[in-house]
């Protein structure tokens, strides 16, 4: 029987491979039939063993940062006053005789004093920084015919907001209520104002106290409270003296829009007669302003003006020469070196702060 030449040759190779010693098979690169499949598989390298981590070091003592704290970090540590051991920040608004905001001033045009001693200005900024803002809204019975314009005023103010800003809403009549806690949504606050009903008395001072308490949770270094009310207080538990002391301790600017009846109007109570003076004192002490108006149609424009003013402020930072941690009140004064070619300019600033007690 004859076999094809190719088959004979293949059979001979298989026979020789099966009978060669292992060493010869390796030398001639010949694998036995059972080993051919295994030879085709790549040999996996041994897996690398992970390097063991050193044991964790646990320290009980707090870490001490060598970096200079940013204003926002300083504020997070001291929520009631924006001051630490080395840095005090003062917001300043500059206006001309026509009450227009003045921007573009340089650090060299400001002088700053603490308790009549001049301080060196080490930080200076004029950018539009994020704000934490509380709206204190009067919902007492006397606001009935003014509610719609008051809502429009709030809407105009919110048009000046930035995405990084945060807001809350406090309403008051017989007592205050935190209606909307801090939120970035101005629509949420405006929706709640839509359903506000005017009733009851006016607990204005209690409303301010509630707002100051909520402001301790603010995330931004710059903070402001906007009060919208039509009269004096006649229902609060807190006194004017207590509120004055409270705002002196807090780093919050207060702006007030007072909707008052004309002085000649009949039936104004003693509290309503004293309302403008109270709001003016509270606002100016914090570096803010009080806008008394008699025509409710002016409300939206005034609210927008406050929003613009908050966006056009200078921030002066200094390290006090008096490093005593005595908890005492330090009075601050800002003076301007008048630029050539401009009319006399007037700065407005926070009147002072309490030094740390420890």
Q: Which of 344, 338, 260, 341 is nearest to 299 (CA)?
A: 260
Mean pLDDT of the chain: 80
Q: Which backbone phi and psi does 329 adopt, to 5 degrees?
A: -80, 130
Q: Quick one: pLDDT at residue 267?
A: 56
Q: Which of 143, 134, 141 is nearest to 229 (CA)?
A: 143
**Secondary structure class of 180 (helix, strand, coil):** strand
Q: Quick one: pLDDT at residue 12?
A: 43
Residue 41: pLDDT above 70?
A: no
Residue 67: pLDDT above 50?
A: no
Residue 238: pLDDT above 70?
A: yes
Lowest mean pLDDT among 61-70, 77-86, 138-147, 321-330: 61-70
Q: Quick one: pLDDT at residue 266?
A: 52
Lowest mean pLDDT among 114-128, 216-230, 232-246, 260-274: 260-274
Q: What is the mean pLDDT of residues 218-238?
A: 91
Residue 62: pLDDT above 50?
A: no
Of the chain, the percentage scoring pLDDT greater than 90 comes to 54
The string of DSSP letters for 92-155 reads EEEE-TTS-B-----GGGEEEEETTEEE-EEEEE-S---EEEEEEEE-SGGGGGGHHHHHHHHH
Dump pLDDT digits (tens) for 95-126: 999 988 899 999 999 999 999 999 999 999 98
Q: What is the mean pLDDT of residues 181-200?
A: 96
Q: Quick one: pLDDT at residue 356?
A: 87
Residue 53: pLDDT above 50?
A: no
Which of the pair, 196 or 34, is modelled with greater confidence? Answer: 196
Residue 262: pLDDT above 70?
A: no
Cβ atoms of residues 90 and 112 within 8 Å: yes
Q: Quick one: pLDDT at residue 279?
A: 87
Which of the pair, 332 or 28, is modelled with greater confidence? Answer: 332
Token representation of residue 19: 């009978």
Q: What is the mean pLDDT of residues 210-236?
A: 92
Q: Quick one: pLDDT at residue 124?
A: 95
Q: How confident is the model at residue 230 (pLDDT cuts 50, 70, 90)?
A: confident
Residue 40: pLDDT above 70?
A: no
Residue 55: pLDDT above 80?
A: no
Which of the pair, 345 or 128, is modelled with greater confidence? Answer: 345
Q: Quick one: pLDDT at residue 221?
A: 87
CATH of 135-310, one of 3.30.465.10, 3.40.50.410, 3.40.50.720, 2.60.120.10: 3.40.50.410
Give the number of other CB atoms < 10 A from CB of residue 314.
23
Q: Quick one: pLDDT at residue 199?
A: 94
Q: Quote the CA–CA distance of 69 and 75 in Å, as a whole number.
A: 10
Q: How confident is the model at residue 129 (pLDDT cuts 50, 70, 90)?
A: confident
Residue 321: pLDDT above 50?
A: yes
Q: Quick one: pLDDT at residue 61?
A: 30
Lowest mean pLDDT among 6-20, 171-185, 286-300, 329-343: 6-20
Residue 255: pLDDT above 90?
A: yes
Q: Quick one: pLDDT at residue 113?
A: 98
């Amino acid at each position: 029987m004859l076999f094809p030449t190719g088959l004979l040759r293949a059979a001979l190779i298989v026979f020789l491979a099966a009978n060669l010693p292992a060493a010869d098979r390796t030398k001639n690169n010949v694998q036995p039939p059972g080993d051919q499949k295994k030879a085709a598989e790549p040999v996996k390298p041994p897996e690398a063993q992970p390097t063991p981590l050193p044991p964790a070091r646990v320290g009980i003592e707090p870490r001490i940062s060598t970096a200079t704290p940013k204003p926002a970090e300083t504020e997070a540590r001291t929520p009631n006053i924006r001051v630490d051991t080395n840095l005090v920040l003062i917001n300043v608004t500059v206006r001309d005789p026509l009450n227009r905001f003045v921007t573009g001033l340089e650090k060299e045009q400001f002088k700053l004093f603490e308790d009549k001693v001049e301080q060196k200005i080490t930080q200076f900024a004029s950018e539009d920084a994020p704000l934490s803002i509380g709206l204190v809204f009067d919902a007492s019975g006397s606001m009935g015919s003014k509610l719609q314009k008051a809502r429009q005023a709030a809407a105009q103010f919110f048009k000046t907001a930035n995405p990084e800003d945060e807001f809350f809403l406090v309403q008051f009549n017989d007592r205050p209520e935190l209606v909307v806690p801090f939120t970035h949504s101005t629509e949420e606050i405006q929706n709640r104002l839509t359903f506000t009903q005017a009733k009851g008395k006016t607990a204005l001072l209690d409303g301010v106290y509630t707002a100051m308490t909520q402001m301790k949770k603010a995330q931004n270094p710059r903070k402001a409270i906007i009060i919208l009310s039509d009269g004096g207080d006649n229902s609060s538990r807190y006194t004017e003296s207590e509120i004055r002391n409270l705002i002196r301790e807090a780093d919050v600017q207060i702006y007030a829009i007072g909707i008052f009846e004309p002085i000649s109007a009949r039936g104004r109570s003693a509290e309503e007669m004293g309302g403008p003076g109270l709001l003016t004192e509270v606002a100016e002490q914090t570096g803010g302003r009080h806008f008394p108006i008699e025509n409710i149609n002016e409300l939206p424009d005034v609210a927008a003006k406050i929003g613009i003013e908050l966006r056009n402020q200078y921030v002066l930072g200094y390290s006090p020469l008096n490093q005593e941690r005595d908890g005492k009140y330090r009075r601050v004064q800002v003076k301007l070196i008048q630029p050539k070619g401009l009319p006399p300019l007037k700065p407005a600033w926070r009147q002072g702060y309490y030094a740390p007690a420890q």
